[in-house]
Amino acid sequence: MRDGENAHGTALTGLRRHTWWTVPGMAVGVQLLFVGEWILDEDVSRWARGPAAVALAVEVVASVVLLTRRLTLLPRAGASPGARPPVGWLITACAAGTVLAVCALAERNYGLWAVAPATVVAIVATYLAPWARRPLIIGSVLFALLPGGVVSLAAGDGELAHAALFPAGLVAFTAWVMLGPLWAWDTARRLDEARRLEAELAVKDERLRFAADLHDIQGHHLQVIALKSELAARLVDADPARAAAEMREVRQLAADALSDTRAVVQGYRRTTLDGEIANATRVLAAAGIDARTTLEPVTAATGLAEPARHLLGLVMREATTNVLRHSRARHAEVDYRVTGGHARLRVSNDGADEPLDTARHTAEGTGLHSLGERLRVAHGELTWHRDGEHFAVTALLPTGPATEAGPANPGNGAAR
């Protein structure tokens, strides 16, 4: 994944550029500065200059390739970047580092021999997860005590402490300096990837919300249009005037459906409890269902906030659509009241056709199950039960400000 495809503005691009100059730039600069100066020193034996110069050039190129490749990897949270280093370049870097270390040790330069090996160790560590990185660094620091110490003891030059401790400290310091900027880069990449995924999820959530709202509108209106059209067809011979009236209502319903669909596209439409109860009464009556309503008068003390009334309006619409689509009801009851700090809406009918298909609607994520999830987010509850042919849906919502959170969640209902 290229940085340009994932960067958020110019900030991430600038951080990547800074990290590249800090990590590969530092690795190359240190080696060229210190090892190159040593190679050019006239006191260094000629036999060591040639191999060291070639090894330095190879080491610099291999380090740049390995670290540049590392910067292109997208790390997993708390883990390795997800890819191994190029094996050929890694072997080349190890071989070149070994040649430089041997040449410097042969000249008893205890402060220089560990520069290239320390760089290789740090590069390998950048590809490892933290749990594997620590043993490598600790082991390398301990091993760095030995070569210089052995050479110093064999030469008897009295520089044992410097020969043993300085290379070990150099390995630890190089790893720390190289891993720090890469850790910051990995963190920025993970955050940017999380931002991208969050944006994608937001788009998907909005699509689900739009699909659910559109399903509510079209499903409800089309069900009523089908019902009234069937009624008009039966009345066309017996009562042409009433059939014409029903078809006028069908035309109005079609216009309302079109208007509501446009409102959903524009993001303006809201479902209200009052409107849905009034609409349900008319629709159920037109279907020949005796609909009785018991509504507690709304006062300032018992009134619900608009988001809560929107949720209960969705429940009312869903219950009405279910009665029309999945029942042979002759009687229906709508009961709304506020008791004990909760608003309760109960819709029941006496002609349920079949048991609730829980598995199917759970898989689809629509209907009463989806509305139940929305009410739970709003600290409410949606329940339904069947007793023979009697089916009832009950919604509870607190009258406090907790209900404000409910409508923010997507997913309106289909029929049960």
pLDDT digit string, tens, across residues 210-224: 677 677 667 777 778
Cα(47)–Cα(28) distance, integer angstroms: 24
The fraction of the chain above a pLDDT of 90, given in percent, is: 19
Whether the predicted pLDDT of 187 surpasses 80: yes
Location of each CATH 3.30.565.10 domain in the chain: 271-416
Average pLDDT over residues 371-380: 86
Instruction: Kindly report which listed range (87-96, 159-168, 332-341, 403-412) carries the lowest average pLDDT score.
Output: 403-412
Whether the predicted pLDDT of 361 surpasses 70: no
Average pLDDT over residues 278-294: 81
Whether the predicted pLDDT of 60 surpasses 50: yes
The fraction of the chain above a pLDDT of 70, given in percent, is: 81
Whether the predicted pLDDT of 281 surpasses 90: no
Predicted pLDDT of residue 264: 65
Which fold, 271-416?
A: Heat Shock Protein 90 (3.30.565)
Cα(310)–Cα(206) distance, integer angstroms: 18
Cα(167)–Cα(6) distance, integer angstroms: 39
The gap between the terminal CA atoms of the chain, to the nearest Å, is 45
CB 96 within 8 A of CB 116: yes
Backbone φ, ψ for residue 336 (5° rounding) = -130, 125
Whether the predicted pLDDT of 233 surpasses 60: yes
SS3 call for 399: coil
Instruction: Pull the structure tokens for residue 64.
Output: 């740049």
Whether the predicted pLDDT of 62 surpasses 80: yes
Q: What is the mean pLDDT of the chain?
A: 79
Average pLDDT over residues 139-154: 90
Whether the predicted pLDDT of 10 surpasses 90: no
Whether the predicted pLDDT of 308 surpasses 50: yes
Question: Cβ of 194: how many Cβ atoms within 10 Å?
Answer: 11
**pTM greater than 0.85 (yes/no):** no
